[in-house]
Amino acid sequence: MAKSSVLGYPRIGADREWKKALEAFWAGKLEETAFQSQLQDIRLNHLRKQSEKGIDLIQVNDFSYYDHMLDTAAMFGIIPQRFAYTGGVVPLSVYYGVARGTKGATASEMTKWFNTNYHYIVPELNGASPVLTENKPLAAYREAKEKLGIEGKPVLVGPLTFLKLSKGYSAAEFDVWLDRLLPLYIQVLRELAEEGVQWVQIDEPIVVTKLSGDDITRLQKIYGTFAAEVPGLNIMLQTYFESAEHYGDIVALPVQGIGLDFVHGFAGNIKSIREQGFPQDKVLGAGVIDGRGIWKAHLGDKLTLLKELAGYVTPDRLIVQSSCSLLHVPVTVERETKLDAELRNALAFAEEKLDELVLLTKAISSDGVDVSAELAKANRTVETLQQSEARNRQDIQQTVAVISSKQPVRSRPFSERYEAQKAKWQLPLLPTTTIGSFPQTAEVRKARQLWRKGEWTGEQYGSFIREEIDRWIKLQEEIGLDVLVHGEFERTDMVEFFGEKLAGFAFTQNGWVQSYGSRCVKPPVIFGDVAFTGEMTVEETKYAQSRTNRPVKGMLTGPITIMNWSFVRDDISREQIAYQLAYALRQEVEALEQAGIGMIQVDEPAVREGLPLKEEEQAGYLAWSVKSFRIATCTVQDTTQIHTHMCYCEFHDMIDSIEAMDADVISIETSRSHGELIHSFELNTYKLGIGLGVYDIHSPRVPDVTEMTGMIDRALRVLDPKLFWINPDCGLKTRGQEETVASLRNMVEATKQARAQY
């Protein structure tokens, strides 16, 4: 008999009750015991739900008070010294201090969990003396058993993954650290075994990335030690997000089960298993239900896959599971009452994925239960959406096929455009501008709410927005900026705003997922062919331009960013989706140009984060990302200046691609990279217009003039002043008016001083 298993459940709850509890606790509105008991209720509810649905192996210890990497560090007493931690079980005040910072100590760094939009807290090993402060998996196991009679499967982040994702040690110290942690892991596992735990899942997603020979040796040592020290405990070594590199070495490790991702790592894993088989003495965790996507699976196809996999192991050695933790999908479709039935029926969030897992497990177990009718019904909902008009727009598909079959290029190369633009725009040396948004004050948000609720007419809201634009156009002129923006007051979010105006998008009411800590996001859903349906930004931009003689820069979100920050359909490739978005945006770019807007910025802050985990796929991704940007922007006149903007600083490995985007001007966030970014430009000559942000917008602090002249000087040692622009790091939407105006005045003053020198 096959079994069903889940690799983790969303923490946030159907009403985001987890988020609310955390935030109330932080605000001092909920005292600790009440908070603890609320979180316990949430935790037990999730276990109960999985048990009621009929999941066989229910995971425990996937729940967290913030993040599972932070939990692992806290369990081992790895707390940075600045938090005055004195040993023992880490108190909540210290735990949240590390996550969020305290008055006296800055928070630990947070970064993306592999290629997901979940962010974990990076453990800092320097100075730590690891000890086992508490056996968290054991506590979770006991709780499930005592409260609900559930025989849980505790999960732990594996030692190799934990260390690889930590910082504060040198490469030479890696094995020292491994030797420090191994005894602690052994103690955890031993106590679990003594308690009678049957299966422990150890997550080693790091094995889907390139490993060195040393790393393979380390894996052999880690799992060899576990097998020797804790015999009798069943370990499921779990991989996800891609196919396992070094498949042969991985499946040969002395563990009882190997979990593989047959959704996001399908091609690689199926090839490995077909060519190399699977060890007869191990259990195969077959991750066939997408833990990251929101679509119902075609269960017929999944059953075929499971049948093939069952050929490599006996049915009692097959576990039907999600491809990864369900942390990455919203909680339930049940709340989505406003979506079209065709779309809604084809969605599966965490709760619905439980049903899919149970059904598939029954189907593959062939124990006499007839589930064919249910399977057929599930397949029909997927097929119905597949055949819907929204997914079969011949007009769009044909045009996009034609456009993307050619290499999109502007009519003249940058050097010639540069001269034409210089003559047309007559900008001073080192032109100043901003990234697009100005403060979204409580008033702006209030106005939008009133209008959305119908309490304000469109006319009322429109005139409010125009007043804001007026005010900020005047302010920008007074400050002395050269290229102005309208301020993005009409936008809630840079992706949602466009999604609401394009065909092929839908918005859920409650499709929240955890991004970091208590912060949740509700990504739009791209369910159909994307199409332009009418002008999106022309009205406001044109209005802003009518109020000033200086150039106003139009402001759009780029195709790759819209795609990477949405849930996308899985029946066509991401590349195709990007081209459809690019074609839609091209029509907006052309409309802006027609309306007399001669500078247009197409923001692409999210290109870097979509980079595939497999090195061999990265170049391909970057190539079609660049192509998408160019599809969107290549049809304008030579004198029309295309800008782009990117956040974050890890660009050293991407400079060629950025250059290939062929934007006349790019602005990049710089301050938080501690000069690393400028350094990378020392090694690569960048030949197009560029603005390296001269001040950090993430803090309300007003930087003084000398600080910014310092940044400018430093950049101009490397970059050509004729190509250099002066701007803040990013949009100013989260800042207040006063500090924004003060900072920008200083920026303009710093620019004047710099101009005098060049």
Q: Which residues are annotated as a binding site for L-homocysteine?
A: 435-437, 488, 603
Residue 67 binding partner per list ligand GLN, Zn ion, none, with a CB distance cut-off of 5 to 8 Å that depends on partner kind:
none
- Residue closer to Zn ion (CB basis): 346 or 555: 555
C-beta of 705: minimal distance to Zn ion in Å? 23
The count of chain residues that interact with Zn ion, using the rule CB under 5 A, is: 3
* DSSP string for residues in 105-151: SPPPPEEE-TTSS-EEEPPB-TT--------HHHHHHHHHHHHH---
Catalytic residue among 68, 298, 674, 698: 698
Q: Is 437 in the site for ligand GLN (CB under 6 A)?
A: yes
Can you tell me the distance from the alpha carbon of 123 to that of 679, in angstroms, rounded to the nearest whole number?
27
Can you tell me the distance from the alpha carbon of 275 to that of 288, in angstroms, rounded to the nearest whole number?
19
Q: Which residues are annotated as a binding site?
A: 16-19, 112, 117, 435-437, 488, 519-520, 565, 603, 609, 645, 647, 669, 730
C-beta of 611: minimal distance to Zn ion in Å? 17
Residue (of 571, 584, 631) closest to 392 by Cα position? 571
C-beta of 556: minimal distance to ligand GLN in Å? 9
Q: Give Cα 155 distance to the centre of its chain.
A: 23
Residue 436 binding partner per list Zn ion, ligand GLN, none, with a CB distance cut-off of 5 to 8 Å that depends on partner kind:
ligand GLN
* 652 assigned to active site: no
Among 13, 158, 265, 436, binds ligand GLN (CB under 6 A): 436
What pairs with residue 320 in β-bridges?
4, 286
Can you tell me the distance from the alpha carbon of 591 to that of 602, in angstroms, rounded to the nearest whole number?
14
3-class DSSP state of 437:
strand
- Residue closer to ligand GLN (CB basis): 654 or 730: 730
Residue 173 near residue 217 (C-beta atoms within 8 A): no
Can you tell me the distance from the alpha carbon of 537 to that of 469, in angstroms, rounded to the nearest whole number?
13
Copy the structure tokens of residue 515: 């991004």
Residue 603 binding partner per list ligand GLN, Zn ion, none, with a CB distance cut-off of 5 to 8 Å that depends on partner kind:
ligand GLN
Q: Which residues are annotated as a binding site for 5-methyltetrahydropteroyltri-L-glutamate?
A: 16-19, 112, 117, 519-520, 565, 609
The CB-nearest residue to ligand GLN is 731
Can you tell me the distance from the alpha carbon of 732 to that of 702, in angstroms, rounded to the nearest whole number?
13
Per-residue HEC secondary structure of 310-321 comes to HCCCCHHHEEEE
Residue 323 near residue 290 (C-beta atoms within 8 A): yes
Q: Which positions from 677 through 736 interact with ligand GLN, judged by CB under 6 A? A: 730-731, 733
Residue 205 binding partner per list ligand GLN, Zn ion, none, with a CB distance cut-off of 5 to 8 Å that depends on partner kind:
none
Q: Pairing mode, if any, of strands 525-531 and 503-506?
A: antiparallel
Q: Which positions from 550 through 609 interact with Zn ion, judged by CB under 5 A? A: 605
Residue (of 565, 481, 489, 485) closest to 523 by Cα position? 565
Residue 364 binding partner per list Zn ion, ligand GLN, none, with a CB distance cut-off of 5 to 8 Å that depends on partner kind:
none
C-beta of 440: minimal distance to ligand GLN in Å? 9
- Residue closer to ligand GLN (CB basis): 382 or 647: 647
Can you tell me the distance from the alpha carbon of 492 to that of 62, in angstroms, rounded to the nearest whole number?
33
Among 138, 150, 363, 435, binds ligand GLN (CB under 6 A): 435
Q: Is 647 in the site for ligand GLN (CB under 6 A)?
A: yes
Residue 321 near residue 289 (C-beta atoms within 8 A): yes
- Residue closer to ligand GLN (CB basis): 189 or 646: 646
Candidates 113-121, 243-251, 431-439, 710-718: pick the segment binding ligand GLN (CB under 6 A): 431-439
The count of chain residues that interact with ligand GLN, using the rule CB under 6 A, is: 13
Can you tell me the distance from the alpha carbon of 506 to that of 524, in angstroms, rounded to the nearest whole number?
6
Residue (of 394, 622, 587) closest to 498 by Cα position? 587
Q: Is 188 in the site for Zn ion (CB under 5 A)?
A: no
Q: Is 730 in the site for Zn ion (CB under 5 A)?
A: yes
Residue 257 binding partner per list Zn ion, ligand GLN, none, with a CB distance cut-off of 5 to 8 Å that depends on partner kind:
none
Candidates 130-138, 195-203, 362-370, 429-437: pick the segment binding ligand GLN (CB under 6 A): 429-437
C-beta of 734: minimal distance to Zn ion in Å? 11
Among 55, 329, 494, 613, binds ligand GLN (CB under 6 A): 494
Residue (of 411, 86, 459, 113) closest to 291 by Cα position? 113
Q: Kindly state the helix (H) or strand (E) to which residue 159 belongs, with its residue range.
A: helix 159-164
Q: Which positions from 646 through 665 interact with Zn ion, judged by CB under 5 A? A: 647
- x/- track of binding to ligand GLN for residues 603-622 (CB under 6 A): x-x-----------------
Q: Kindly state the helix (H) or strand (E) to which residue 59 belongs, with its residue range.
A: strand 59-60
H helical segments located in 480-550: 496-499, 538-546
- Rg of the chain on CA atoms, in Å: 27
DSSP assigned state of 91: P
Q: Is 555 in the site for ligand GLN (CB under 6 A)?
A: yes
- Which residues sit at the interface with Zn ion, rule CB under 5 A? 605, 647, 730
| Catalytic machinery residues | 698
- Which residues sit at the interface with ligand GLN, rule CB under 6 A? 435-437, 488, 494, 555, 603, 605, 645, 647, 730-731, 733
